[in-house]
Amino acid sequence: METLKTVIFSWTPQLLLGARVTIGLTVTSVGAGLILSLFLALGKMSKNYVINKLSSAYVFFFRGTPLLMQLFFVYYALPMVAPVLTINNRFLAAFIAYTLNCAAYCAEIIRAAIQSIDKGQFEASRVLGLSYGQTMRLVIIPQSIRRLIPPVGNEFIMMLKDASLVSMIALVDITKATRNIEGSTRSALVYIPAMILYLIITAVFSYCFHKLEKKYSVYE
C-alpha cells in the first residue's frame, strides 16, 4: 500500500501540469466564447436579414459538427486551406476551436435569456427615450445575466470535460498526461488519480457557479 501511495504521488506533478492546461483552456475559451456569443445572439435577433442569416448559419454549423472535428480542422486543415493560417501553437489552436464552439452554444443561451425578459421592459425603455442599443446595454442584458448563470455553468462544466479532446493534437492536458504516464509505467492505475482530479476540479467550479446562482437568483 505504501508503495502504491508513493507511485501515485510521483504522478502528481505531471497530472497537476495537465490540470493547469485543462483549467486554463476552459476558462479562457469560455470567457472569450461568452463575449463572441453576445454578438451572435444579438445577430440572431437582428431584423437585418444578412446579419440574422450569418449569425444563424454560424450557430448551426458549430452546433451541428463535432468539437473534435472542429479542433482537427483548425490545427490540421487550416494550413492546407491557406498556409498563412498555420497555427503551430497547440494551445492557441485549441483555444480558437473551443472558443468558436462555445460561442455557438452560449449564443443560444443568451438569446433565450434575453427573450425571457418581459416585453414591457422594451416598451418602457422606448417611452423613456432610450435607443435599442441603450435598452439592451442598460436594461435588458443586466437583467439577463442572472438568468444565464445556471446554463452557462453547465456549459462550462461540459467544456471542462471536453477539454480532454485536446490530447488528440498532443496538447498535454490531464488526459494526455495520464496516457503518457500509463505508457511509461505500464500501469492503468493512473486513471484513478486522474479521474479524482477531474472530479475535484469539476466540484470546485460547480460550487462556485452554485454560489453565484444563489447570490443572483431571479427569485430573490
Block residue for cell numbers 414591457:
120
DSSP secondary structure, 125-149, as one string? HHHTT--HHHHIIIIIHHHHHHHHH
Cell 437568483: give the residue: 217
Distance, in Å, from the CA atom of 130 to the CA atom of 117, rounded to the nearest integer, reads 17
pLDDT at residue 192 is higher than 60: yes
For residue 114, what pLDDT is reported?
A: 86
- Cα–Cα distance, 19 to 194 (Å, whole number): 9
Record the cell numbers describing residue 158, joined without a space. 461540459
User: Given a cut of 50, is residue 46 above it in pLDDT?
Assistant: yes
d(CA 43, CA 210): 30
Q: Which pLDDT value is given to residue 3?
A: 63
Output the pLDDT for position 219: 46
3-state secondary structure 155-201: HHHHHHHHHHHHHHHCCCCHHHHHHHHHHHHCCHHHHHHHHHHHHHH
Q: What is the pTM of this model?
A: 0.89
Helix (H, G, I), strand (E, B) or coil at 117: coil
